[in-house]
Structure 1
Amino acid sequence: MTVVLQMSDPHFGTERPMAVGALERLCGELKPDLLLITGDITQRARPIEFSACEGLRRQTGRAGAAGHPGESRHPALCGDHAVAASLSAL
């Protein structure tokens, strides 16, 4: 059976360590084949916020990842092409 874990509107830049830890534990228990990150991925579309998202994705280790940003945080709309490249790597 394929397991998909969706995380919606994480707003990296405002994340709380307890919530991130809970998600890491859940990924460890469920061992998802895919981590789907949707909605507002970051709070302000800053590179450091995308880096925090990438760090979580790497920590889950077992899952592939796909991202679909909300329109208010989409890097193309924020004018940061470096961030757009980082997001497309998800």
Structure 2
Amino acid sequence: MTFIAIIGAATAVFAAMVSLTQSDIKKILAYSTISQIGFMIMACGLGAFAVAIFHLLAHGFYKAFFFLSTGNALRSVEQSLGHGDPDHPVSEGMG
């Protein structure tokens, strides 16, 4: 189980470092999720299965909200800069 914890920790650190080099917000969020999955695997490797399940559920709710909020924020910025298409409000009801 120690090997699994080490792999999880290495994944968490590596993905966090890669996310720092990204400029696209969607890629940053994706690498953030990979990093958090590394922490979940590390928790499983340490035998803390309940903690890993709680982290999985909490992260899922948080990340779903963050993806929706980010899409809406990007749309607002594009419209304020004159790049958006106001005739097609894709995420009008999400805000």
More helix per residue: 2
TM (normalized to structure 2)? 0.27
TM (normalized to structure 1)? 0.27
More strand per residue: 1
| Structure with the larger RCO, 1 or 2 (CA within 8 Å, 6+ apart) | 1
Rg: which structure is higher? 2
